[in-house]
Chains A and B, each alone.
Chain A
């Protein structure tokens, strides 16, 4: 697991009160993690803080699953 993946997993897990190893890539934020809009904003804010980047709302909402969010962050950081 890459450093970015590990850090993203840790932040997502913390946000939803889980252990990183309990997260599966195919888990959806809306249904499996029962995320409300406040959770998503908090998660984005935490990722922005951790990696020192800006995440536009339109890009953020494309990520429906844990795996998609990890891939998005990897690409975003590789491009920055």
Chain B
């Protein structure tokens, strides 16, 4: 088995500026309705949105050695919370592609503090 890793860091000031400047179109390009409503439950949704954006970026980076280019739409890679832990919920198209690539597991970890949000993704490939 081979392990693939992806990491991504987001500057919260920059992300906040993007959300304030580009609003709905920006949010709806990246996030599902479920992700948006989850993040907007918090007093400040920005760290939660940025961490989820990082997760999607880190996933793409982890897959880069086996899947050149960004072939999925952002919303096809959804981050949901299960028992307090963030996990990916993929579209059927992503699931099919992962199966073809022999990917058996995708793990995700998120964090945010101060001005930054970070995500690490670990992919197990047969």
Contacts and interface: CB of A to CB of B under 8 A. Distances in A.
Interface string B23-49: 001100110000000000000000000
Given A48-B25, A61-B69, A61-B70, A41 B57 contact: no
A38 interface: yes
B105 interface: no
B21 interface: yes
B53 to A, nearest CB: 7
Nearest to A58: B71
Given A38-B10, A38-B15, A57 B53 contact: no
Interface residues of B, number: 18
B22 interface: yes
Given A37-B57, A48-B25, A49-B25, A42 B70 contact: no
A39 B15 CA distance: 9
Chain A facing B: main interface SS: helix
B14 A57 contact: no
Given A36-B14, A57-B70, A57-B72, A42 B57 contact: no
Interface in B59-73: 69-73
A41 B69 contact: no
Interface residues on chain A, size class: 10 to 19
B14 to A, nearest CB: 6
Contact of A58 (B18, B29, B53, B69): B69
Interface of B: 10, 14-15, 18, 21-22, 25-26, 29-30, 53, 57, 69-74
Given A41-B26, A46-B25, A57-B71, 8 more contacts: A38-B14, A38-B18, A42-B26, A44-B29, A45-B25, A45-B26, A48-B25, A57-B74
26 contacts: A37-B53, A38-B14, A38-B18, A38-B53, A39-B18, A41-B18, A41-B26, A41-B29, A41-B30, A41-B74, A42-B21, A42-B26, A44-B29, A45-B22, A45-B25, A45-B26, A45-B29, A48-B25, A49-B25, A57-B71, A57-B72, A57-B74, A58-B69, A58-B70, A61-B69, A61-B70
